[in-house]
Structure 1
Amino acid sequence: MNTTPITVPSPPEGQDLATVAMRFEVTPIPVTDFDRAKAFYQRLGWRLDIDVQFSEKVRAVQFTPPGSPASIQFGPPGPAPLQRLLLVVEDIEAARAELVDRGIDVGEIWNAVPGQPPKPGRDPEGRSYFSQAVFSDPDGNQWVLQEVTERIPGRV
């Protein structure tokens, strides 16, 4: 239960907000071996949306995390792996335990107040956004589990 309110400044007066709906649905992640990456994301328990070989050199593989409206697609290796890809969870201990049970190497849970160094364990006050744990895929793309039980006002 969140005991400390989070203060978020209101948008500036007269802010020009877009009116056409634009949904973020998919992002490419760099992988060196599609089959190895596919096995990893299946082990996470994510839904395999597509695995289509269009030509000898073109393959499309897409996964969606459980409960997420957004997906990932495998792309060619880039100059560096992606970092701090956020996975919002309601119970970080349960999420971490499930991944560990699935054979995923997940770091210990830690918490941090913005601007302060991290401390081991869940946030003692149970505040949203403060408790996290990290794991990486075989290509070094880093995923962060972030516990959110109460959204910042105005967020869905």
Structure 2
Amino acid sequence: MDWKIELIFVPVSDVDRAKAFYESIGFHADHDQQVDEALRFVQMTPPGSACSIAFGTGLGLTLEPGQQDTIQVVVADADAALEQLRAAGATAEGVDEQAWGRFVTFADPDGNRWTLQQLPAR
């Protein structure tokens, strides 16, 4: 049996602002459903990813906006990713060179932090 991680929740304070931010850095808006007055569900997918993120209102998340800091995404080119993020107006830290990869970090408008990793050549 396969176990696939396909959805990670990201706590945000402003759903529309978060959606606009993630669209600006290239995420695809898969779903945006206002279920009722208290429940809105937004699902977005990074380009080329099998795993999406979700956020909204009334989801019962235990993390407060800005507390998600454990998402790491593999990219082909850390320099290109940094350039794309900065071109979109995202606050992104430069490439950190390590023996196990090249890393770029950025935060969404709520302060949720992401790490992008370019794997070392094999």
Aligned to 1:15: none
In structure 2, the residue matched to 1:70 is: 51
> Structure 1 CA distance, aligned partners of 2:121 and 2:29?
29
State yes or no: 1:85 paired with 2:56: no
Partner of 1:143: 114
Q: Which moved more, 1:22-31 or 1:75-84?
A: 75-84
CA RMSD, 1 decimal = 1.7
**Number of corresponding residues:** 117
Percentage of pairs with the same residue: 38
How far did 1:78 drift?
2.1
Contact 1:29 1:73 in 2 (8 A): yes
For normalisation by structure 1, the TM-score amounts to 0.69
Which has the higher Rg, Structure 1 or Structure 2?
1
Structure 2 unaligned segments of length 5 or more: list them. Answer: none
State how far apart, in whole Å, the 2-side matches of 1:139 and 1:77 are: 15
For residue 130 of structure 1, report the CA deviation from its aligned partner.
2.1
Letter paired with 1:148: L
State the 4+ residue runs in structure 1 displaced beyond 3 angstroms: none
Give the secondary structure class of the aligned counterpart of 1:39.
Answer: helix
- Structure 1, unmatched stretches of 5+, are 1-19, 114-128, 152-156
Deviation, 1:149, is: 5.1
Say yes or no: does 1:108 pair with 2:79: no
